[in-house]
Amino acid sequence: MTVFDSVVRNRGFSAAQVELGLSQPTISNHITALEERLGVRLCQRGRRGFLLTEKGRMVHQIGLALMDSLDQHSTHLAELKGNLVGRLKLAVVDATTTDEAFKLPQAIKQFTEAAPAVRIDLAISEPQDIQQGVLDGTYHIGFGSFDNVSNGLHITDLYCEHHALYCSDTHPLFSAPADALGDDAISQHAWVHRGYWNQQRQKTQHSSDRDLFVQEIEAQLILILSGAYIGLLPLHLAADWEGRGRLRRLPNSSRDYSCDMQIVTRSGAAPKVNTLFIQILRQMYQEDYIAK
């Protein structure tokens, strides 16, 4: 099942070789053995490339659930002996590395010192996918700003992230005087929005048929830098580009936006590994609040 999962995620045998450290014939033997054991064809492979069958998709989903269950039970069994072992699967939204208020790197360092036998998996994903991943066990803890939180999840606020409206140095608004940048002037230009923002949040922003919607902040930044669009960016991400003269923060505070950066976890009791990591992270923010 582990080999099959790697092949599916890497979309073929060749790409899975590097991750698994196995030859293609060995991988093929594993898949063939699994097919014979289950009595179903899992995938098509050949000159036309790798393609999952419908039953293969079902087997993969069942396999993920089985591996997650085994992982959780192994962690609980280790906890009975007082050991912190297993895996901690984290997921975070993109464009956080420039945010000094985001203390995940410091928390990881402190956690690895307290629980060196725990393996950390870290993924970058979109808010909706992080929520779904926490629900189905793909991730243990998610970080981001979450709208329309699903049932079965618990949200903890960490800090507030501030966004402002920007244009690039090749955009017509870059050299416009501040008193000419009213709502009417700004509404004449195309925007690039984040598609995962809920309808209530999007209603506070300008929207037209010329606008684009993207799922990553980095993609939004690239489109703003193109000079064809304006849009809201986190202040910490835009700061360096603004300092180099590539971006201008448009002086229209009514368009600015702030959101809570949050932790999302599954509701109910959690393994000690997960609990320890959250305790470390929350303690960091409490100490930072006291210091201020």
Question: pLDDT tens digit string along 249-268?
Answer: 998 767 788 889 999 999 98
pTM of the prediction?
A: 0.71
What is the pLDDT at residue 79?
59
Question: pLDDT tens digit string along 125-168?
Answer: 999 999 999 998 889 999 999 987 888 999 999 999 999 999 99
Q: Is 15 exposed, middle or buried (0-12, 13-18, 19+ CB in 10 A)?
A: middle
> Taking 90 as the threshold, does the pLDDT of residue 92 lie above it?
yes
**pLDDT confidence bin for 204, thresholds 50/70/90:** low
**pLDDT confidence bin for 185, thresholds 50/70/90:** confident
Greater model confidence, 183 or 206: 183
Residues sharing a CB contact under 8 Å with residue 163, sequence separation 6 or more, in sequence order: 232, 233, 234, 235, 256, 257, 258, 259
> Taking 70 as the threshold, does the pLDDT of residue 200 lie above it?
no
Residue pair 248/175 in contact (Cβ under 8 Å)? The answer is: no
